[in-house]
Amino acid sequence: MRPQPAFVLIRPQMGENIGAAARAMANFGLERMRLVAPRDGWPNPAAVAMASGAGRLLDAAQVFDDTAGSIADCEYVYATTARPRELTKPVLSPQAAMQDAARRIAQGQRVAVLFGPERAGMENDDISRANAIITVPVNPDFPSLNLAQCVLLTGYEWRLATEEVIPERTQMQGDWANQSEIEALSQHYEDRMEDAGFFFPDHKAASMKLNLRNLWSRMPLTRADVQMLHGIMRQMVRWKDRP
């Protein structure tokens, strides 16, 4: 399979929409579909009927229980949303995002694009795990795109970007950290800061933890960086406990 981004459908609500999204992906040569907790279970006959010849994508689709698991092997993640929310992240058009994705994949990174549920879109907890946001410049009086439309638009921009992109080389030491390694780092810091009483007062704890997770996702970290940051926290804890 040609290197390409994984398209991750988070908690999709209807089999028909999953099938339509698979058909849209197939139109532009995209084959890596991932599903997070589909509402009506999996496999879904309605998805097969709607896929119209793209059934092989559904057969090969990977199913995950949560968003974190679906992107654990990826080094860079985009989240599609109608509005940037209050999280501080780069905001890109589909064109700019897929050009960026093509460059990253040409450099050897694994990339994913998140698409939210049909009715309400992604929750902040999902978006906080992404490194950048994709927002479509639609009519502000009618901003809603359905799932398949959003997949189609992003797939189209991917196809355009990969017809022109030239592989680049980046001078770096070691490999980029993947999402599971970032998740472990985030949890390490959150746990130790919880022990230290950092998340105070209680009613602000949830937003403080979300902001901390968002901070990690904005940082381009190598595996060596992650190991060093783990070591910093472990040493700080040991220093605090010295007699």
Phi-psi region of 122 (alpha: psi -120 to 50; beta: other; left: phi over 0): beta
- pLDDT tens digits for range 26-80: 999 999 999 999 999 999 999 999 998 899 999 999 999 999 999 999 999 999 9
pLDDT of residue 235: 94
Handedness of CA 42, 184, 198, 218 (dihedral sign): negative
Question: Which residues are registered as beta bridge partners of 77?
Answer: 112
Q: Cα(114)–Cα(151) distance, rounded to whole angstroms? A: 10
Q: What are phi and psi of 78, to 5 degrees?
A: -110, 145
Residues in the chain where the model's pLDDT stays below 50 = none
What does the pLDDT read at residue 118?
Answer: 79
CA-to-CA separations, 6 to 70, 85, 105, 117, 121, in angstroms, rounded = 9, 23, 11, 17, 18
Per-domain boundaries in the chain: 6-164, 179-240
Helix, strand or coil for residue 28?
coil
> What pLDDT score does 120 carry?
73
Q: What SS3 state is found at 243? A: coil
Q: Model pTM?
A: 0.85
pLDDT of residue 193: 95
pLDDT of residue 99: 96
CATH topology for 6-164 is Alpha/beta knot (3.40.1280)
Q: What is the dihedral of CA 189, 194, 196, 197, to 10 degrees?
A: 140
